[in-house]
Structure 1
Amino acid sequence: MYGCQQTLISHNNELKAILKYVCAEANKLSNCGLYYARQMYFKAGKIVNKFDLHKQLNKNPHFGALQSQTAQQALTTIAESFKSFLGLLKAYRNGTIADCPKLPNYRKKGLTLVTYPSQAVKLIDHQLRFPLGSKVKTWFGLDAFYLPMPSNLDYKSVREFRILPRGGCFYVEFVYKLESVSSDVNPDFALGIDPGLNNWLTCVSNVGTSFIVDGKHLKSLNQFYNKQISTIKENKPQGFWSNKLASITEKRNRQMRDAVNKAARKVLTHCLNNKIGTLVFGWNKGQKDSSNMGRVNNQKFVSVPTAKLKDRIAQLCEQYGIKFVETEESYTSKASFVDGDFLPIFGEKPEGWKSSGKRTKRGLFRTFADWHINADCNGASNIIRKVATTLGLDLSGVSRGALSTPLRLRIWS
């Protein structure tokens, strides 16, 4: 497993010019590699490998403008994208995937990611030395640029350094090897997660605990962002973009990444504190693409990065030895967990199927026994029940208190 730490580069005008030049040359080299690879595919029906690209383009002026290993990495990425295209094309012909893949296309004029392998970067007096190409030294008299090394990382553990241009800023990414953490957890203890909007994550366990990760603040940030974008773009031509729009978007994206990391950590901490060894996440593939909740609600729902949060939780589970299970969540909100209603799969609902309980008003679910419980907690419990038989989970520990009064956790509290 590998982790990635992203650090914003505080740069002066000289360093910014160097970073822009390096990322622009990498973008041009990528397009040169794409041209050669596309022509080989069109005219010879051949998918090029990375060695062909390295051999054909090592005399290219854009290749010489970059450090040799960095230039090779840019071309290797092109070869890997064509290899992935071939694999997807076979899967499409076999009927494994529904959409026909497209051949990798040229990049737009601008900047792109630059990758330095660890052996190309040296640590000198707590500063990382990033070498430049031989032609840059000849043209401009520069052989390297320097960036500070973060104090929380071990230089020897870093496998790769990346210069990432985004939103008018530059970031340096440190890719490092993650060590697995030994955790005292029990696989019979399970936590069910029901994703939503105001209640971003509703979590119920079979050890009598429950909590909700609040999503109202996150929704508010997205609403304000959309309002700002709409105001600035008003009466502007289609496709209008500016530095201010880029700055606003970058700030919003940082907030979303921060929310994802903090919410995932809250879930993991709860699992470790209660020795929960199985995590069941309810997820319907393509649910955002096919959402039909109206224009306003669709905008709110689609802009919240729940899929990234799911992936982040899965990564943490793998690192800490917690079993992560993803299951479809059809009818989990309608069926009554307390009454043990049958849970159909989407598209396979039996004729005449009816829930024993009913959602009486927003956020409240009434069971057949006239219990009033939290509607999202009912859904989260049913998500565990979807896989309980397969995983051999005992759900007798799901208490009435956990279903009725979940603890609300706020991300930025």
Structure 2
Amino acid sequence: MLLHPDKEAKAVLEYLCEQSGKLYNMGVYFARQTFFKTSKLLTGKFDLIYEQSVGKSKIAQSLPSTPAQQTLLSVAEAFKSYKRLRQAWFKGQLPNKPKPPNYLKGSRLFKVAYPNSGGQKPKLVDGQLQFSLGLTVKRWFGIDSFRLPAPSHLDMAKVKEWTILPKNGVFYLEASYEIPKQETFVGIDDQALAIDLGTADNLAACVDTLGNSFLIDARAMKAFNQYWNKQVSTRKEGKPQGYWDTFLDRVTRKRNHRIRDGINKAARLIINHCLKYGISTIVLGWNEGFKDNANMGRLNNQKFVQIPLGKLKDRLQQLCEVYGIHLEVTEEAYTSKASYLDGDSLPKFGEKPDGWKASGRRVKRGLYRSGNGAIVNADLNGSANILRKVARKLGIDLNRLSRRCLATVARVRLWQLPQPALSAESPCL
């Protein structure tokens, strides 16, 4: 929830987030120095809280004790994640060596979290949430609490934690709560849906083993992103390097909200399709680092690199866990070059046999011609090949995935209301 605090409340929020940022950086410094000098990673729940800051640091004392502990727990979580990545790198599961968590940069504001339990949990007073500031702040400034609007649509008893989040020049109030348990989803074991992400005009190209196919349109999302780049470029023209102001904060917030809304809508549409047709498996084509060193021209790079496909992947994973759908992530080497209808072999990246050649080829943007001259949608051809990559491993039946569903396309526009049914719009394109 976006906050609109008055002058006094804004000053309190800025103070809390500044102190939280200082404490976070101090915790990172202590953990980094410990690691560099002793090779010990402080990942335990109380490593930083009791070994370093609380009770010894003026910065820790300048925050209420509970939010101060949550900030240091965030440092411990960052180093715990680094430890897992480091172990994966040692095992050869990551191509690049991870780096230890670094310090906050820019405004150096950090989130302030209040668990909805314990002595400093927020209280509902006159329809507003009252947050404690602790004894030290009361002694220094003469105030012991502040209030923020309470969301009217939430059951306060179910909220696990309240978080004040500084972002793009404003403050948000986030509520963390448990998702109600969903009904057990029972899908068809040998049915799956494949997703090819991030094509030129499409956010996702989807094909399932029941013979359904659809494209999630990305042109509106990419237009929003392009307009944002134009606004930033125009505003910063003639200004010194690193220039930023409240206007740029505002347009960046608007752009981020639109992109996030599009990602959530796309993930929900895919999951709803699986629930409707009883599909128990989603196969996602994904190559790690596929955006690195992208060389598609300035405009195409802007469209491709700045759309957060990783967030769509993460959102799908979250929803799959909620509904009990299996998400299979597979590499997608040569899926866009090979012909599904001709059954071309699909080697892994770097393992292409000498003399390998696809039976078909792209004839223009969005169209693929197979070896027998059949014209199909190029993105759906790639999505169907992603299914072939794992068909034997997962026991997937591909008998109903034919030329018809690769040539007749339903295009879904995310911001077109009401949401259109998945019906054929035009052949191939």
Per-residue deviation at 1:42? 4.9
Letter in 2 for 1:231: T
For residue 347 of structure 1, report the CA deviation from its aligned partner: 1.2
Of 325, 328, 347, which residue of structure 1 is paired with 2:328? 325
Cα distance in 2 for residues equivalent to 1:93 and 1:377 = 37
How many angstroms apart in 2 are the aligned matches of 1:402 and 1:141? 69
One-letter code aligned to 1:154: D
What does residue 102 of structure 1 align with?
99
1:13-52 aligned at under 5 Å gives the runs 13-42=7-36, 46-48=40-42, 51=46
Q: How many residues align?
A: 407
Match of 2:4 among 10, 16, 26: 10
Q: TM-score, normalised by structure 1?
A: 0.92
The aligned counterpart of 1:363 is: 366
Output the CA distance in 2 between the equivalents of 1:91 and 1:337: 34
Partner of 1:144: 145
Q: In the TM superposition, what is the alpha-carbon distance from 1:251 to its structure 2 partner?
A: 1.3
> Structure 2 residue aligned with 1:210, among 209, 213, 223?
213
Aligned counterpart, 2:69? 72
Q: Residues of 1 paired with 2:37 and 2:386: CA distance?
A: 52
Aligned partners of 2:241 and 2:367: how far apart in 1? Answer: 44
Quick one: which of 48, 67, 81 aligns to 1:53?
A: 48
Q: Which amino acid aligns with 1:71?
A: A
CA distance in 1 between partners of 2:257 and 2:312 (Å): 14
Q: Determine the structure 2 residue equivalent to 1:81.
A: 78
State the alpha-carbon separation in 2 of the partners of residues 191 and 328 from structure 1: 15
Residue 84 of structure 1, CA deviation: 4.2
Q: Which amino acid aligns with 2:72?
A: L
Alignment partner of 1:213: what SS?
strand
5 Å-filtered alignment, 1:128-207, equals: 128-181=129-182, 182-195=184-197, 196-207=199-210
1:265 and 2:263 are equivalent in the alignment? no
How far apart are 1:323 and its partner, in Å?
A: 1.0
For 1:81 and 1:394, the matched residues in 2 are separated by 42
Q: Distance in 1 between matches of 2:336 and 2:71?
A: 47
Relative contact order (C-alpha < 8 Å, sep 6+): which is higher? Answer: 1
Structure 2 CA distance for partners of 1:357 and 1:110, relative to 1, 3 Å: closer
% identical aligned pairs: 50
Distance 1:118 1:72 in 2: 14
Match of 2:60 in 1: 63
Deviation at 1:205?
Answer: 0.8
**Matches of residues 177-326 of structure 1 in structure 2 within 5 Å?**
177-181=178-182, 182-195=184-197, 196-326=199-329
Which structure 1 residue ranges, 5 or more long, are not aligned? 1-6
Q: Using the TM superposition, give the Cα deviation of residue 32 of structure 1 relative to its aligned residue in structure 2, in angstroms.
A: 3.0
Q: Any conservation in 2 of the 1:187–1:323 contact (CA below 8 Å)? A: no
| Distance in 1 (alpha carbons) for counterparts of 2:373 and 2:34 | 69
- Partner SS for 2:164: strand
Given the superposition, is the C-alpha separation of residues 188 and 125 from structure 1 closer, same or farther in structure 2, using an over 3 Å criterion? Answer: farther
1:8 aligns to what SS in structure 2?
coil
Q: CA deviation at 1:186?
A: 1.6
Instruction: Flag the 1:180–1:188 CA change in 2: closer, same or farther, 3 A.
Output: farther
The alpha-carbon deviation at position 40 of structure 1 amounts to: 3.9
For 2:412 and 2:222, the matched residues in 1 are separated by 15
Could you tell me how far apart the structure 1 residues matched to 2:164 and 2:231 are? 29
Q: Does 1:346 align with 2:349?
A: yes
Runs of 4+ deviating beyond 6 Å: none
* Separation (CA, whole Å) in 1 of partners of 2:277 and 2:365: 30
Task: Give 1:202 deviation, angstroms.
Answer: 0.8
Residues 172-222 of structure 1 show CA distances to partners (whole Å, capped at 9, x for unaligned) of 111112244222422322111111230111111111211110011111111
Alpha-carbon distance in structure 2 between the residues aligned to 1:185 and 1:39? 51
Judge which range, 104-113 or 288-297, deviates more. Answer: 104-113
Letter of the structure 2 residue corresponding to residue 113 of structure 1: K
Question: Shift in Å at residue 30 of structure 1?
Answer: 2.1
Deviation at 1:47, TM superposition (A): 4.2
Residue 36 of structure 1, CA deviation: 3.5
Structure 2 counterpart of 1:114, which letter? V
Aligned-residue offset at 1:277 = 1.2
Q: CA RMSD in A?
A: 2.1
**8 Å contact 1:179–1:319 — kept in the other structure?**
no
Q: Is the 8 A contact 1:89 1:101 kept in 2?
A: yes
Partner Cα distance (1:385, 1:219) in 2: 30
- Aligned partner of 1:341: which letter? D
- Please report how far the alpha carbon of residue 116 of structure 1 lies from its aligned counterpart in structure 2 after TM superposition: 1.2
Structure 1 residues 353, 223: CA separation in 2 closer, same or farther (over 3 Å shift)? same
Alpha-carbon distance, 1:396 to partner: 1.1
The one-letter amino acid paired with 2:309 is: T
Which letter does structure 2 place at the counterpart of 1:379? G
Q: Distance in 1 between matches of 2:342 and 2:89?
A: 43
Equivalent residues of 1:65, 1:134 under 8 A apart: no
Alpha-carbon displacement from aligned partner over 1:63-85 (angstroms, at most 9, x marks no partner): 22222111111122223434444
Q: Does the 8 Å CA contact 1:339/1:356 hold for their aligned counterparts?
A: yes
In 2, Cα distance between equivalents of 1:288 and 1:326: 17
- The gaps in structure 2 that reach 5 residues or longer are 417-429
Distance of 1:69 and 1:401 partners within structure 2: 60
How far apart in 2 are the matches of 1:323 and 1:83? Answer: 26
